[in-house]
Chains A and B, each alone.
Chain A
Amino acid sequence: MSNDAKRRSAQLVVAVLLALLGFAAAAQIRLTHQDGSYAGQRREDLIELLDSLAAAAERTQKQIDELERTRSDLLSSSERREAAVEAAKEQLAVLGILAGTLPAEGPGVTVTITDPRGAVTAASILNGVEELRDAGAEAIEINDRARVVASTAFVERDGVVLIDGHEIRPPYVLDAIGSSHTLSEAVIFPGGLADEVSRLGGEVAVKEAAVVEVGSLHPVDPPEYAQPTDD
C-alpha cells in the first residue's frame, strides 16, 4: 500500500467517525429540545420530581379545601345577614304604617262627614275613628292632614276641632285602609257614627274604594327616657 493511499484511508476512517459523532450529537440535541426536559432523565430524578409534584398537589388541594370552607362560611353568613335585613325591612314597613311614619295605600273607605250646623264635635270624630279601628282599619287619616296613630289627640278649642294640633274644619274626610266592606258596615250600623251625626244635623257618606291613599305622616321623636329591653 502506498503512502498516499494509506493517508486517504485514514482520512476516510476519521470522516466516518466524525459523521457518527455529528449524527449522534444532532440526534441528542433534537431529543433534548423536542421531548421536553423529562426525556432521558434518570429514574431516581423522575421519581423525586414525581414525589415533589405529588406533595405540591397535596398542599394545593389542602389550600383549595380551606378556601372553599371559608367561601361557604362567608356565603352562609351573608345569607343569614340578608335574611335578617329582609325581616328587618318587613318589620320596618309594618311598624312604619302602625306608627304613621310611612305613607300607605290599599283598599278601604272614604267617610265624608258634612256638618252644616257645626254641631259635630271632636268626640264624634273620635267615635268614628274608634269604630273604624274596631272594624280593622290599619291606617287612618283625616282631611289628608292628620294621620291617626296611637297617641293622636282629639281636642276642641273655640268650636274648632284640633287633631294633633292640626286645625280640622268640616267637611271631615276620613280615609281608612282595611277591608272596605267591614269598614263601611262599621260606619253605618244602627246607632253608630252615621246615626249620631244625622242626629246632630250632619250627614255621613261612605265610599268604598279599591285604592285609598293615606299620605300624611305622623312625626315621631325618638324616645328620651324609654329604652328597649332585651327579650
Chain B
Amino acid sequence: MIAVIGLLIGVLAGLFLEPTVPLALQPYLPIAVVAALDAVFGGVRAHFDGIFDDKVFVISFFSNVLIAALIVYLGDQLGVGGQLSTGVVVVLGIRIFSNVAAIRRHVFHA
C-alpha cells in the first residue's frame, strides 16, 4: 500500500515540479527507467512467489539502473550507442514480459 502511494507521489512530483533533465543524463534516463521497471516487476513477482526481500529489491533496482546506464555509456564511447541501447531495451522488455506473465499466473491462475 505504501509502495503504491510512493509511486503516485513520484509521478505527481514529476508532473507538477516540471524538472529539467540535465543534458548529460538525457541519453541514459529512458534506459534507466526501463531498467528500474524491470526491477519493479521482478520485485512484484518475488512478492507473489513469497520470496520478496527488500534488500534484494534495493540492490537489484540500483544495479539494474547502473548497469543499463553503463552499457549505454560504453556503447556511446564505442560508437554503437544506438544499437546497444536498443539491445538493452529488448532484453529488459523480454524480462518484463516474462515477469508479468508470472504475475498474471499468480493473480488470475491462468
Residues of A within 8 A of B (CB): 8-32, 39-40, 42, 44-45
Contact = CB atoms under 8 A, between A and B. Distances in A.
A112 to B, nearest CB: 103
Interface in B74-90: 76, 79, 81-82
B53 to A, nearest CB: 8
Given A21-B36, A28-B33, A31-B21, A42 B10 contact: no
B82 A22 contact: no
Given A13-B54, A27-B21, A30-B18, A18 B6 contact: yes
B37 A21 contact: yes
Given A11-B2, A17-B57, A27-B21, A40 B27 contact: yes
A39 to B, nearest CB: 7
Contacts of B5: 15
Interface of B: 1-15, 18-19, 21, 26-27, 29-30, 32-33, 36-37, 40, 43, 54, 57-58, 61, 76, 79, 81-82
B11 A25 contact: yes
B26 A40 contact: yes
Contacts of B7: 15, 18-19, 21-22
A45 B82 contact: yes
Contact of B13 (A9, A16, A23, A42): A23
A16 B29 CA distance: 18
Contacts of B19: 23, 27
Contact of B10 (A11, A12, A26, A29): A26
Nearest to A11: B2
A31 to B, nearest CB: 5
Nearest to B26: A40
A166 B14 CA distance: 107
A61 B61 CA distance: 53
A26 B21 contact: no
Contacts of A40: 21, 26-27, 29-30
